[in-house]
A and B are shown apart, each in its own frame.
Chain A
Amino acid sequence: MSAIGANAYLLRKLLVVALVMFGFGFALVPLYKKICEVTGINNIARADTVENSQVDTSRWLTIELDANTRDHLPWTFAPLQKTVRVHPGQLVHVEYEISNPTGSAVTGQAVPSYGPQLAGSYFRKLECFCFTQQQLAAGETRRMPVVFVIETGLPDDVKTITLSYTFFPVEGRG
């Protein structure tokens, strides 16, 4: 092979490497998702399982329920009760109500957060409207449940947990 031919050959090979790495950058997205799924690192949007069903009746916890919308999502969104008193280990059922007062269908996704942050890892949600996107037709109102258990291992100094949901609009889904 001539010198110029050899250079052009190597150029093509290295270009392919660069292109493959560009694709690899995008492949990292499903790759990381898969790793998180397998190892259970990032399971905020997945139903938990509860192993210990022992109820610790000696302790009372106050769960404050909070609801917000962001980025001009034109929904009204509120829990049916502001607070609930529960025991650790007890199966709790609460409901939220969302309504879409606009004249067109809108899709949103709720993202939970916890105060104190530490309580999040003891909060086991068996069912939640935040596991999937919610599409509301024009003028539709919907009641949605959250079923959860607070694990008994929750540190003693935590007396109140705030469960806060924020609904974000999902663009391009009507």
Chain B
Amino acid sequence: MEAVQGHDDHSHDHGHGYQGGLMRWITTTNHKDIGTLYLWFAFIMFLSGGVLALTIRAELFQPGLQIVEPEFFNQLTTLHGLIMVFGAIMPAFVGFANWQIPMMIGAPDMAFARMNNWSFWLLPPAGLLLFGSFLVPGGAAAGGWTLYAPLSVQLGMGMDLTIFAIHIMGASSIMGSINIITTILNMRAPGMTLMKMPMFVWGWLVTAYLLIAVMPVLAGAVTMLLTDRHFGTNFFNAAGGGDPVMFQHIFWFFGHPEVYIMILPAFGIVSQIIPAFSRKPLFGYASMVYAMSSIAILSFVVWAHHMFTVGMPAAGQLFFMYATMLIAIPTGVKVFNWLATMWRGSMSFETPMLFAVGFIFVFTMGGFTGLILAITPVDIQLQDTYYVVAHFHYVLVAGSLFGIFGGIYYWLPKWTGHMYDEKLGQIHFWLSIIFFNLAFFVMHFLGLAGMPRRVPDYATQFAEFNMIATVGAFGFGLSQLLFLYVVLKCIRGGAKAPARPWEGSDTLEWTLPSPAPYHSFETPPVVK
């Protein structure tokens, strides 16, 4: 009974459990608070990982060694990959999930609010372990973000810290996914059937299942590394009867679904934005759901296309080549559905829409280079060149990251209660897309000409394109400070946002006032 009385003592704006200051953020179990924490954590990691990337690009501005030692360069490429994948992109999407899923399905909060808090607060220690590994003897892990054996078995202490960081982030992701699946399956408002869910929720449902299926496999792989390193097992040690190629097989069994983990939520975000700014319902809703599910299922049978050069029999190469190309079909379905949604819509191009259309444009380019890389003989030529670097930055930066930017501009009025500065937002978009292409488009040419990735020096024939790429990378990096300014400006003030600032948006979160109240949908809405 005391607890109930205590409840009444607090301001009813915030409800029970609300504390001021730092303790609010440490103890919070509110999905909106936790979503905010995830998003800020991801942004800090994004800037930190970006600094690593810019150091790489600065070194590559000219041939020869100018700024960093080769050993440190290897640490930079490794940590840039790990931090962007596990620290920036994935937590950003979980941040979106926390903010949006309860509001979009009419639930009061996530299913397991305390576990939600724990999922987030595991991340900062993991981030510290990764950055701290630069300071230990031998430096950070330097064998590439894929942690291939035998290098990862031989490297110093930084590798152990990386392994622990991956364990912690894996646990965080698994808990987050369990929370998301339970929320979506058990807590939808009455009347909201699975096939009435907003596409963003669908994207996350599929993603969360992928995470539960593959994060434990990665945890297993790094555990095997750890026991190989310290406890005398021989999983990947050839001398003891192990096999280093085995690590690649296990890693990519995780790694390929991971690629879709990083893109399906972006597909979801884009599928919300395009109909809203085309003022038309999403074209082919059911086919979008099936396309996403088939991408997820296919992602389990294509892993070895990352390893065409390990000495696979031709039958294996053919199987993985065709299976990989098969993924182009559901992906094509999605792209054409977005185009069909825009077709004859009354479109307007506010910043979220710019990012969504930009996403379709650049992501499709990354998809096409992916198809080229899926062709075994071509891949054997391009393996580990800058062509691959260009390909996965087209799908991860222009794909996932542009999806994230679009989503942030789209929902920022709902989150802060203010409209962001439209003009600055549009400038941010144009700077981002121009500098992005400047940085990464030329990498296709570098790769085709044979420049290997993860090497700090290069032949002088590659000098011009590298110079262009570095200029583009610095431009892209600095443009993100403008993004930070736009977001801070929007949080601090700006035009009052109406409950539904976007004319064509029709999901449940827009029925709430802006900013969304601390507790929303305590009585579930009824969906007709």
Q: Which residues of A contact B (CB under 8 A)?
A: 3, 6-7, 10-11, 14-15, 17-19, 21-26, 28-29, 32-33, 39, 41-42, 45, 70-71, 108-109, 111, 133, 168-172
Contacts and interface: CB of A to CB of B under 8 A. Distances in A.
B186 interface: yes
B220 A22 contact: yes
24 contacts: A7-B112, A7-B186, A10-B185, A11-B178, A15-B178, A17-B212, A18-B174, A18-B212, A18-B216, A21-B213, A22-B216, A22-B219, A24-B216, A24-B217, A28-B246, A28-B253, A32-B246, A32-B249, A33-B243, A42-B243, A70-B239, A109-B239, A171-B232, A171-B240
Given A17-B212, A18-B212, A111 B239 contact: yes
Majority SS of interface residues in chain A? helix
B181 interface: yes
Contacts of A22: 216-217, 219-220
A13 B17 CA distance: 29
A100 to B, nearest CB: 16
Contact of A25 (B174, B182, B216, B232): B216
Interface in B114-130: none
Contact of A14 (B181, B217, B237): B181
B216 A111 contact: no
A102 to B, nearest CB: 18
B178 A18 contact: yes
A3 B112 CA distance: 12
Contacts of B187: 3, 7
A28 B185 CA distance: 30
A25 B112 contact: no
A6 B111 CA distance: 10
A26 B224 CA distance: 8
- The CB with the most chain B CB atoms within 10 A, among A11, A15, A33, A133, is that of A11
A11 B235 contact: no
Nearest to B208: A14
A133 B253 CA distance: 31
A21 B254 CA distance: 11
Interface string B208-223: 0000111111111100
Nearest to B241: A109
A17 B213 contact: yes
B220 A14 contact: no
B250 interface: yes
Contact of B112 (A11, A29, A109): A11
B303 to A, nearest CB: 11
Contacts of A19: 216
B151 to A, nearest CB: 15
Contacts of A42: 243, 245
A101 B155 CA distance: 30
B220 A25 contact: yes
B176 to A, nearest CB: 11
Contact of A170 (B212, B239, B312): B239
B238 A41 contact: no
Nearest to B246: A32
B313 interface: yes
A39 to B, nearest CB: 7
B182 A11 contact: yes
A39 B313 contact: yes
A15 to B, nearest CB: 7
A143 to B, nearest CB: 22
Contacts of B234: 170-171
A168 B154 CA distance: 14
A70 B240 CA distance: 13
A109 B250 contact: no
Contacts of B186: 3, 6-7, 10
- The list of the 7 closest CB pairs from A to B, nearest first, reads A25-B220, A168-B239, A22-B216, A21-B216, A25-B217, A172-B232, A14-B178
Contacts of B249: 28, 32
A17 B182 CA distance: 14
A32 B247 CA distance: 11
A7 B182 contact: yes
Given A7-B187, A22-B220, A111-B239, 5 more contacts: A3-B187, A11-B182, A21-B217, A24-B220, A25-B220
A38 to B, nearest CB: 12
Contacts of A41: 312-313
Contacts of A111: 238-239
A25 B178 contact: no
Interface in B185-205: 185-187
A43 B509 CA distance: 59
Contacts of B219: 22, 25
A22 B250 CA distance: 11
Contacts of A25: 216-221, 224, 250, 253-254
Contacts of A11: 111-112, 178, 182
Contacts of B220: 22-26, 28
Nearest to A110: B239
A7 B219 CA distance: 25
B228 to A, nearest CB: 10
Nearest to A169: B239
B382 to A, nearest CB: 20
Nearest to A36: B243
Contact of A29 (B185, B235, B237): B235
A170 B240 CA distance: 5
Nearest to B174: A18
Contacts of B241: 45, 109, 133
Nearest to A31: B249
Contacts of A28: 217, 220, 246, 249-250, 253
